[in-house]
Structure 1
Amino acid sequence: MNRQPLTVMIVEDDELAAKIYEQFIHKVDGYRVVASAQTGKQALELLNVFTPDLILLDVYLPDMNGIELLWEIRRRHRGIDFIMITAANDTETVSEAIRGGAFSYTIKPIIVEKFISVLERFAAARQQLSTNRVVEQHEVDSLFRNDRKAAAPETAAKKMLPKGIDKHTLRLVREKLLQESASINADELAERVGTSHSTVRRYLEYLVTNNELEIDMIYGSIGRPERRYKRKQH
């Protein structure tokens, strides 16, 4: 018997970012986006009509802090879970998100593979809790482990960036690539990032070796083939 899809509300004031999250969610089986809100007030009004299983929540909203919204929704709707997606990286905000019971906390710009992995783990946890009446200690440990084990390889990777690859520039390049639905060449991306062709090319090639991008070779009638880059589809 097919399970009912997990329903998702996106609370994000950046309309483009919300659409990108929705595209990524569609890559994961068992999810359905039912609404988007750009303010805390809109989110609370929508919750008067229906109750989603999961809310993807930003901290920086135009009318209220996302953590305050989390606690307000917690008071009204105990059965909703949260995944935080935000640029807020201060320890106070992260601590409050943990106290509020957020399932995961992702600092922008998001990495597609990590985002999809979080959704898959959330779905697995929901399934486990809905089908089992009791759980063993190792299963409880797995549920409460959440992102800690998954975060370790990523942290190690950041510390081991090759020479010439700066983490801040890398984050910017990834952010710009997330906004592209089609392939892009180094010149086009250099214009968006605001740096040189050679610098962007170095970062693009690094992302290829890191298995985040793939290359399209466009062969014209004259000259060298054009090297275009696009995100890998998972």
Structure 2
Amino acid sequence: MIRVLVVDDDARVAHNHRKLVETLEGFEAVGVARTAAEALTSVEQLGPDLVLLDIYLPDESGVQVLQRLRGAAHTLDVLVITAMRDAETVQATMQSGAVHYLLKPFPFSELRDRLNQYAQARSALASVTEAEQSDVDRVYGLMRTRASPPAKLPKGLSQVTAQLVVDTLRTADTDLSALELGERAGLSRVSARRYLDHLSTTGTVELRLRYGSAGRPEHRYRWTGDADQ
């Protein structure tokens, strides 16, 4: 269970964020703080795993709260939620170790996706005792914004299935064949191959040929779209 502390000076926003957290499986909202002082006290008393931190606070900047938490060596993560768009603030939160920076206003689905990505990343890291580079890449990749497939798809291909293929491929720790991707995504090999071949023509998926000892080469696919985002 991931214990979440919501920090926002707007009572309505804090209430809505807490309600959203409570609807997600594997999450528990342990408290709400309206000021920097309340946030720091709540961290000490409640021991959250994750803090949803606004930057605009009446007594002290959220950036300073984040820096104080890091200075005190608290073993928690911070997801910044704010309307502040200046590059200096973004950089300061990144340097202080925020796992993400979500700009207001946003649909609730955006926050839900970020929280689910965070949970997946924690789970992926907890499943290994000594991380390989592929494990590190996967954990950091899960915390990135979901990549979207091309808006225009050939006739017979659906946007929903295309997104499923993209998400499956970009979170894989290796390249995949159409059969392997189909097994992970719940698709037939033929269907998976159609989507993969289309995505490879857009430059977001790299097609590699693996040659065996005999027979036709195996088609392998690797996600490359993040490199341009």
Choose from 4, 8, 25 the match for 1:8.
4
The structure having more radius of gyration, on CA atoms, is 2
Q: CA deviation at 1:149?
A: 4.7
SS at match of 1:26: helix
Contact 1:104 1:146 in 2 (8 A): no
Instruction: Point out where structure 2 has 5 or more consecutive residues left out of the alignment.
Output: 152-229
Shift of the 139–21 alpha-carbon distance from structure 1 to 2, 3 Å rule, reads same
Q: Paired residues, what number? A: 151
85-94 or 139-148: bigger deviation: 139-148
1:103 equivalenced with 2:109 (yes/no): no
- Aligned amino acid, residue 120 of structure 2: A
1:56 equivalenced with 2:52 (yes/no): yes
Q: Residue in 1 aligned with 2:88? A: 92
- Aligned amino acid, residue 31 of structure 2: A
Q: What is the alpha-carbon root mean square deviation over aligned residues?
A: 2.0
Q: Residue in 1 aligned with 2:77? A: 81
Deviations 1:154-178 (A, max 9, x none): 9x99xxxxxxxxxxxxxxxxxxxxx
- Aligned amino acid, residue 111 of structure 1: P
Contact 2:125 2:139 in 1 (8 A): no
- Aligned amino acid, residue 46 of structure 1: S
Q: CA deviation at 1:129?
A: 2.0
- Aligned amino acid, residue 60 of structure 1: Y
Cα distance between partner residues in 2 of 1:45 and 1:78: 12
Q: Residue in 1 aligned with 2:13? A: 17
Q: CA deviation at 1:148?
A: 4.0
SS at match of 1:48: helix
Regions of 4+ moved over 6 Å? none
1:128 equivalenced with 2:137 (yes/no): no
Higher RCO (Cα < 8 Å, 6 or more apart): 1
Structure 2 length normalisation: TM-score? 0.61
Cα distance between partner residues in 1 of 2:23 and 2:113: 11
- Aligned amino acid, residue 140 of structure 2: F
Q: CA deviation at 1:146?
A: 5.0
Choose from 43, 67, 71 the match for 2:67.
71
Q: CA deviation at 1:89?
A: 0.7
32-41 or 131-140: bigger deviation: 131-140
Q: Residue in 1 aligned with 2:35? A: 39
Structure 1 length normalisation: TM-score? 0.60
Choose from 90, 109, 112 the match for 2:108.
112
Instruction: Point out where structure 1 has 5 or more consecutive residues left out of the alignment.
Output: 158-234
Cα distance between partner residues in 2 of 1:14 and 1:153: 32
Q: CA deviation at 1:145?
A: 3.1
Deviations 1:116-160 (A, max 9, x none): 11111111111222231022222211222355452x549x99xxx
